[in-house]
Structure 1
Amino acid sequence: MVSLLFFLFLSTFTRSISTTTAAATTTLDVASSTKKTLDVLNPALLQRQQVKTQNETTSSLSFIIRPRSSIHRDQHHHDYESLTLARLARDSHRVTSLLAKLNFAISGTNKSNSVYKVEDLTTPVTSGFSQGIGEYFARVGLGTPVQTYHLVIDTGSDITWLQCEQCFNCYQQTEPIYDPSGSSSYNVLPCTSQQCESLHPRNCLSNQCLYQVLYGDGSSTTGNFVTETISFGNSGSVPSVAIGCGHDNKGLAAAAGLLGLGGGQLSFPSQIKATSFSYCLVDFDSSRASTLEFNSAPAGNYVTVPLIRNPRITTFYYVGLTGILVGDQSLPIPPSIFAIDESGGGGAIVDSGTTFTHLPSQAYNALRDAFTQQAINLKPTVSSSELDTCFVFSSLTNTEVPVVAFTFAGGKTLSLKAGNFLIPVDSHGKFCLAFQPTMDSVTIIGNIQQQGTRVTYEMSKLVVSFLPDSC
């Protein structure tokens, strides 16, 4: 009798899992992906993309966002494999930075090293792939009269900042460095201001507020904490937004600074009292753009999942991830692996600045093993640096691969397209699984898995929505 009941339960469970995804496989467009790896290194194509960027207009209260490769090309990379290796290195630093910030918050020590990293406002978003960096850029207007700058959009940081004259130590950026002396709306915050008192750490000099942001990867920015007008193309502007005017900066490349989209009180969404914001990230090698929007409600057949707040740290956006599917099989991963524990550790963060999805080792191993077992029709090849599950598709135009999907609290399932988890690492048909293991208990859902999907953070409702095919 017990055996019969167990069989019936197993049959019901298997049927319920199989109906959560449309199919057990999805199609990988090998030819198109490989072509993009060649196009992104073509200077002539890059020049046409840059002209297109200059002529674009933005929609109401929004920024245009692009991958970095469409506005800047690093001359040091002459093949796609070199770009991939650089991206892996940068991603490793990014994860180190996020984990350092989280661990400081949990332990309650070294708070001076807090990491701060951007609306119905919308801006174009750009990718950082040609630098080997996974960030996306938003073209943002600052000051009066307006000057435009490309800022990295970052949901893992709160402080918005850019390089400013007089610059004692600045890295190379695409646009001229911002000169506050030319803006009538620029004001240095006094030490007694509410914005200044919200900084950690906070310093003062002659009653002028000073900020400092130290990132776990060694990059940093220091300067005056000021207010400035931020504009959204020709559609509108927001006055008196508190930002950092950095005079001593290191670590970024090409971007003028960073637009902080985190959940803290000094982040851009918090300062403009946005009830929600959303973005859609094009793939790294795309010449297209999308938008970063504020207070725009999601529309269509979206997947809505719980937005969870970690009481130890307000910056990060956690979601109620409960499991992973490969094909039509649920992986043997306890839901507790993805939960925030009593100390504030663990949990699953959605992050715009991390490239790959990073999973605790137990979850990653289950995903890797299940994928390779089901992908018996794929030809394995040697691993590529830190990516240990790779295949060669050099003779194929397209191929069927097992579906990978995330499951969330409430029974919602987000199925990924093949390009969201199998990515080219060279221009010769080598593709690798775009996940990485971590010894930490935190899961970070990276931007490769978000590409092609509009992600909406509804702070007022405490939900995150995913709408595929909406770039």
Structure 2
Amino acid sequence: MNNLSTISFPPFVLLMLCFTLSFQSSHQSHHHVISIHSLFPNCSSSKGTKKLSQSPSTLEIHQRHDLCWQPTSSSSDTTKSTQQLLEEDQSRVDTIQAKLSKKSKKQDPFQTKKITVPVQSGRSLGTGNYVVRVGFGTPKSDLSLIFDTGSDFTWIQCEPCVKACYDQQDPVFNPSNSKSYTNVTCDSQLCGPKLRSATSATPGCASSTCVYGIQYGDQSFSVGYFGVETITLGQDVFPNFYFGCGQNNQGLFGKSAGVLGLGRNSLSFVSQTATKYGNAFSYCLPAAASATGLLKFGSSNPYPRTVKFTPMLSRSDGASFYFLDLIGMSVGGYKLGISGSVFATGGTIIDSGTVITRLPPAAYEALRGAFRKAMAKYPLGKPASILDTCYDFTGYSTITIPKIGLFFRPGIEVGVDPLGVLIAASVSQVCLAFAPNGDPGDVGIYGNKQQVKLDVIYDVGNSKIGFGPGSCN
């Protein structure tokens, strides 16, 4: 029997062996190996999703059912679904950019003649892709709401739907069946600048009742009575919650009952529950439609050491949004040579409703170049809408992709889950899930596709945002 301890190698062989092992270890640590099957969401198995442990202040997060699709290499309907998702996402981004642009004139649903015109085919409000269940009224009715960090105002559809209500999964809320509902009167101090700041529209008045309106760049909107109601999250009950009781709602909201606004305005859910939850919330977004995420209100004191914090910035032109300081990016373990001024010109927000991360043109070009170089062995595919770096993985069962990291002040790196790097229209059209802005001065947006499976902590009271290992599947 040979004794390995007696075998000797020439020095150059040992050197080459060490180099090879070192290279393989480095390559594996800076890349992901993923199956092609994992790139395609499937909602059919959602009923089997395991339940996650949660506290009374924690809600389960699910993807909107209307966003589920099952891509195949030959399905034209699949391509259409992905195309629509990207178009809706761009619609939301256009609205955010318009809201933050000093040159843009904000629309007012009480001053436009288009308020009763149905939303254009294939366009939507684009308010978000994740829903949670919230109780309204006494006795309570549980409703599925899109939760949105990019808006402030909470509203739901209400009977009698004086003008129009779109189709939703749950029965439409009837305020006349609730013992705790009241209307806000026109002479209330809230029916003025405060309501306008939350909706970007001047309030109206109907039979002494305050009327809200919220409209978006694609003409989607909700108009209705400004009311006060008791809402319930698990075992936590909040009386005197101000919200919108929608009587005329048009847009592609899926099957949700409305929107839960988690922005920074005084009328947002975060602000109205600050006494209980301390102006803090966090979420973990599921990577797959069949998985479950968590939306938790309240803070942890102290936070786990694994959580990395970056300062939450403030801007006078975007109080609704959560600004942070993106300062760099990495691909495959190498930090890209992007000047910090590239990101600083337009600034960056983090948004739960935008799907695809938007970057300044120069930053995107650097990312695209590095990613394409790392993926050179794979054949390019046809671009998909706003996505120009796509691949044809026909015949592949697994692929190797470079890890992508985002750097935030003061230098923390937040990795992107492998399922957040790519988005699939079909096996022959799998694309890098990042896109460029049209102008260097446009705000960058850290989208939800790149946030999946992270614990994202909004400690609004202490003006910081944290990122840690995800607590969801």
Check whether the contact 2:67–2:129 (CA below 8 A) recurs between aligned residues: no
| Residue pairs, 1:24-173, within 5 angstroms | 25-34=30-39, 36-37=40-41, 39-40=42-43, 42=44, 45=45, 48=47, 59-69=55-65, 79-103=77-101, 106-107=102-103, 109-110=105-106, 112=108, 135-167=129-161, 168-173=163-168
Check whether the contact 2:420–2:433 (CA below 8 A) recurs between aligned residues: yes
For residue 411 of structure 2, give the secondary structure of its aligned residue in structure 1. Answer: coil
For residue 308 of structure 1, give the secondary structure of its aligned residue in structure 2. Answer: coil
Amino acid at match of 2:267: L
Return the offset for 1:58. 5.8
Please, which runs of 5 or more residues in structure 1 have no aligned partner? 1-20, 115-130
**Using a 3 Å threshold, how does the CA distance of structure 1 residues 419 and 322 change in structure 2: closer, same or farther?**
same
**2:299 aligned with 1:296:** yes
For residue 376 of structure 2, give the secondary structure of its aligned residue in structure 1. Answer: coil
**2:385 aligned with 1:385:** yes
User: Residue 281 of structure 1 is aligned with which of 278, 281, 285?
Assistant: 285
**2:342 aligned with 1:337:** yes
Q: Distance in 2 between matches of 1:248 and 1:174?
A: 17
Return the offset for 1:57. 9.0
Return the offset for 1:56. 9.0
Return the offset for 1:359. 1.1
**Which one has the largest radius of gyration?**
2
Check whether the contact 1:394–1:430 (CA below 8 A) recurs between aligned residues: no
Check whether the contact 2:148–2:352 (CA below 8 A) recurs between aligned residues: yes
Return the offset for 1:205. 2.5
Return the offset for 1:108. 8.2
**Using a 3 Å threshold, how does the CA distance of structure 1 residues 332 and 446 change in structure 2: closer, same or farther?**
same
**2:228 aligned with 1:227:** yes
**Using a 3 Å threshold, how does the CA distance of structure 1 residues 190 and 57 change in structure 2: closer, same or farther?**
farther
Count of residues in correspondence between the two structures: 414
- Give the structure 2 partner of residue 309 of structure 1: 314
Amino acid at match of 1:142: F
Return the offset for 1:81. 2.7
User: Residue 182 of structure 2 is aligned with which of 187, 191, 215?
Assistant: 187
For residue 294 of structure 2, give the secondary structure of its aligned residue in structure 1. Answer: strand
Q: Distance in 2 between matches of 1:230 and 1:133?
A: 21
Q: TM-score, normalised by structure 1?
A: 0.81
**Using a 3 Å threshold, how does the CA distance of structure 1 residues 56 and 162 change in structure 2: closer, same or farther?**
farther
Check whether the contact 2:91–2:126 (CA below 8 A) recurs between aligned residues: no
Check whether the contact 1:327–1:404 (CA below 8 A) recurs between aligned residues: yes
Q: Distance in 2 between matches of 1:419 and 1:110?
A: 36
Q: Distance in 1 between matches of 2:259 and 2:369?
A: 38
Check whether the contact 1:85–1:132 (CA below 8 A) recurs between aligned residues: no
Return the offset for 1:31. 3.7
Check whether the contact 2:66–2:254 (CA below 8 A) recurs between aligned residues: no
Q: Distance in 1 between matches of 2:383 and 2:38?
A: 19
Return the offset for 1:377. 3.0
What per-residue deviation string (whole Å, max 9, x for no partner) do you get for residues 258-305 of structure 1?
Answer: 00001111110011113211111102x432222211113243512211
Q: Distance in 2 between matches of 1:87 and 1:301?
A: 33
RMSD: 2.8
Q: Distance in 2 between matches of 1:308 and 1:22?
A: 36
Check whether the contact 1:87–1:134 (CA below 8 A) recurs between aligned residues: no
**Using a 3 Å threshold, how does the CA distance of structure 1 residues 416 and 391 change in structure 2: closer, same or farther?**
same
What per-residue deviation string (whole Å, max 9, x for no partner) do you get for residues 432-462 of structure 1?
Answer: 1001111132101110001111111111111
**2:353 aligned with 1:353:** yes
- Give the structure 2 partner of residue 250 of structure 1: 250
- Give the structure 1 partner of residue 19 of structure 2: none
Identity within the alignment, % = 35
Return the offset for 1:375. 2.2
Check whether the contact 1:174–1:254 (CA below 8 A) recurs between aligned residues: yes
Return the offset for 1:185. 0.8
Q: TM-score, normalised by structure 2?
A: 0.81
Q: Distance in 2 between matches of 1:238 and 1:56?
A: 24
